[in-house]
Amino acid sequence: MSTVTPSTAEFDAFGPWIDEVRTAEDVPPLYRAHHIDFETARMVLKFPRDISRRDATPQMDLYDHLLIAETDRLTVLSRTATRYSQTSVDYGDIAVMTEWANLLDAELRIDTVLGETVVVAFNGTSRDRIVELVDLLRGLGLVTRAAKETRLPPIAGALELDDLGKKDSLFVTSFRDRQRREPGIALLAAHGRVTVTRRGGFLSRIADLVFPVTLHGALVCASPTELQILSRRHWLVRGGTPELSSARTVLPLDLLHSVRSEEHPRYAGASTVTLRVGGAMLAVVMPTGSPAEKTLRALGSR
SS3 239: coil
Model confidence at 276: pLDDT above 90 = yes
174-202 pLDDT, tens per residue? 999 999 999 999 999 999 999 999 999 99
- pLDDT of amino acid 9: 81
**259: burial class by Cβ within 10 Å (0-12, 13-18, 19+)?**
buried
Q: Do 257 and 277 contact (CB within 8 A), yes or no?
A: yes
118-151 pLDDT, tens per residue? 999 999 999 999 999 999 999 999 999 998 999 9
**What average pLDDT does range 71-89 have in this prediction?**
96
pLDDT confidence of 8, banded at 50, 70, 90?
Answer: confident
Separation between Cα atoms, residue 128 and residue 15, nearest integer Å: 16
**What average pLDDT does range 205-232 have in this prediction?**
96
- pLDDT of amino acid 252: 97
Please give the full DSSP string across 65-85, using - where no structure is assigned. EEEEE-SSEEEEEEE-SSSEE
Q: How far lies 39's CA from each of 35, 44, 134, in Å?
A: 12, 11, 21
- pLDDT of amino acid 1: 44
Model confidence at 60: pLDDT above 50 = yes
The ranges assigned to domains in the chain are 9-144, 150-300
The CATH fold assigned to 9-144 is PH-domain like (2.30.29)
**What average pLDDT does range 43-56 have in this prediction?**
92
**What average pLDDT does range 212-238 have in this prediction?**
97
